[in-house]
Structure 1
Amino acid sequence: MTDTIEPTTASRTIHVPEGLVGFPATEYEVAPVAPGLFDLRPLGGDATGFVTADAEVFFPDYHPELDDPTAERLGLTDAADAQVLLIVTVAEDVTRSTANLLAPVVVNARTLAAEQVVLTGQDFPLRAPLIAS
């Protein structure tokens, strides 16, 4: 059985060798909190965690293009194996929460290798409304 991240499964550990931008941890627990939403928290401490959204659930037309070296580092040979998680900025009024489409966390759902990818040459917003108004 493959150890993949799905909204209805238990927590999984992803491996982020380069860490997230500004955060050096390399092992993160991804725990579902609601359909399409996950808590992303570094293992082994009380370090800062993140709310993430499954891009496929919240932005079905969002299809970032990975360069070949990134796809190679993640072992991605089939786009269907990529799960794209978006870091969410949760607003006090939850309807004003936004997702970062410019720097998604891309996870190889088969191997759980992951990387935060800062997309270049693609016109995606840093703060896209999570809930359409």
Structure 2
Amino acid sequence: MKIETKYHGALVITDQDVISFPNGLPGFQEEKHFVVIPFSEEGMFQILQSINTPQLGFVMTNPFAFFPDYDFELEYQAIEVLKVNTPEDVEVYSILTVQDPFNKTTANLQAPIVINKASKLGKQLILTGTSYLTKHQLFDKVEAK
């Protein structure tokens, strides 16, 4: 199928590329079908792109690449929704708030995107009782300008 995207224009995807979010995303409950698209060739950043709304694409990254100590437990309810059988099936992403200049970009560690790549199901978790915030500086040294 052909979709329009926020950052890459028109793309052809397959049904196997589509990730279903049964509950949508917080603030976007009606959006239930997305695709993960590499943002650039090096693979550090991805786009969580709605297949129905071209303007709805979230820049995200693997939080462990920037925050090696990042840790949370996947609660039973999320495991059930995602139909997780093995930890190897799970991918975790953080949505970024992209800033100009880019070195001021922040990551939302309080609400990770969790995807079961085997079942093609996704969910955005809202972590409570943690010190994680919605805006963690992605790059250690941000020059004041």
What interval of TM-score do these two structures reach, taking the shorter chain for normalisation?
A: 0.7 to 0.9
Among the aligned pairs, what percent are the same residue? 32
Query: In structure 1, which of residues 68, 81, 93 is the aligned counterpart of residue 76 of structure 2?
Result: 68
Letter of the 2:31 counterpart: A
Paired residues for 1:1-133 under 5 Å: 12-23=17-28, 24-34=30-40, 35-133=43-141
Dislocated runs of 4+, deviation >3 Å: none
Aligned length: 124
Q: Are the aligned partners of 1:36 and 1:58 in contact in 2 as well (CA < 8 Å)?
A: no
Structure 2 residues not aligned, in runs of 5+: 1-12
> TM (normalized to structure 1)?
0.84
Q: Deviations over 1:51-87 (max 9, x none)?
A: 0111232223212212111111111233332111111
Structure 1 residues not aligned, in runs of 5+: 1-10
Root-mean-square deviation over aligned CA pairs = 1.8
Helix, strand or coil at the partner of 1:28? strand
Bigger Rg over Cα: 2
The CA deviation at 1:45 is 2.9
Q: Deviations over 1:78-120 (max 9, x none)?
A: 3332111111000011000000000011001212210000011
Q: Which moved more, 1:36-45 or 1:52-61?
A: 52-61
Distance 1:18 1:121 in 2: 22
Distance 1:132 1:112 in 2: 33
